[in-house]
Amino acid sequence: MKRSKRLQRLCAEIKACTVFADVGCDHGYCAEYVLKNGLCGRCYISDISAASLKKAERLLSEYIAEGIAYSFCCAGMELIPKDADQVLIAGMGGEEILSILREGFLPERLVLQPMKNAAKVRKYLLEEGYSITRDYTFFDGKYYDVISAERCAAVREYDEKSVWFGYDNLHHPTQEFLDYLKAETEKCERQKHSAPTQVQAVEERLELLREVWNETSRNL
Ligand SMILES: C[S@@+](CC[C@H](N)C(=O)[O-])C[C@H]1O[C@@H](n2cnc3c(N)ncnc32)[C@H](O)[C@@H]1O
């Protein structure tokens, strides 16, 4: 079955590893991709919802029967064995992803797709000593950020704007990113009228968006 562009983009970020874990796997499509493509020796799937996990267990039943995939119904990484060297956490808020990582463990490689607060996620990864190896925005009905990070990879220097907007968006801008900037600018313009008490904060955001637009639009 053809998966959504979002799922394809997430799967494209996953590298070969020893043990892969999909935390909050729901349908289990990403784990299926990893297993089908032989990208890991062992795979863990987990979800806080038993009903969601059941979907993934059905999809991966053969791998589970063979002892290649293991499922865990738990909050975050509570029951996930710590030998997972690559962990995917996608489709949750950035704050939720951070609390899962803080209460769980930090693997060699992470692929994260926060639904909001991507800047907080980038900041946390850098503070924890990760190199963010890929970090960009794409559109699939709405705008999504995907962030891949590794413990031992070449360091890319993150300034404040890269933390806010994503390194690859600034250094290798795409039309999708420029469209995102335009959409954000329009949102701020609307906020200026609907929330007059926040005008100063909105003006600051607009100024930043203008700067980033000027810096990136000429590099496209
Ligand atoms: C929107 S779905 C995303 C599913 C999949 N990761 C994706 O990106 O398509 C979010 C899933 O995360 C699960 N979830 C939410 N909070 C969680 C937590 N703290 N620990 C584990 N799973 C969680 C939900 O039950 C749901 O199945």
How would residue 197 be classed by pLDDT, with cut points 50, 70 and 90? confident
- Domain boundaries, given as residue ranges, for the chain: 5-157, 175-217
Structure tokens at 165: 């907007």
Tell me the pairing of strands 109-114 and 143-150: antiparallel
Q: Which residue blocks in 151-198 are alpha helix, DSSP H? A: 160-165, 167-171, 175-194
> Under DSSP, is residue 71 helix (H, G, I), strand (E, B) or coil?
strand
For residue 15, report the distance from its CA to the centre of ligand 1, in Å: 21
The model's pLDDT over 52-111, given as tens digits with 9 standing for 90+, comes to 999 999 999 999 999 999 999 999 999 999 999 999 999 999 999 999 999 999 999 999
Structure tokens at 203: 């003006």
In single-letter form, the type of residue at position 64 comes to: I
For residue 188, report the distance from its CA to the centre of ligand 1, in Å: 29
Structure tokens at 47: 């979800």
For residue 111, report the distance from its CA to the centre of ligand 1, in Å: 14
pTM of the shown model: 0.97
Average pLDDT over residues 125-147: 98
Ligand 1 pocket, residues with Cβ under 6 angstroms: 23-26, 47-49, 52, 75-76, 90-92, 96, 100
95, 120 Cβ separation under 8 angstroms? yes
pLDDT for 43 equals: 98
- The domain 5-157 is classified under which CATH number: 2.40.30.10, 3.40.50.150, 3.40.50.2000, 3.30.450.20? 3.40.50.150
pLDDT at 220 over 80: no
Residues β-bridged to residue 55: none
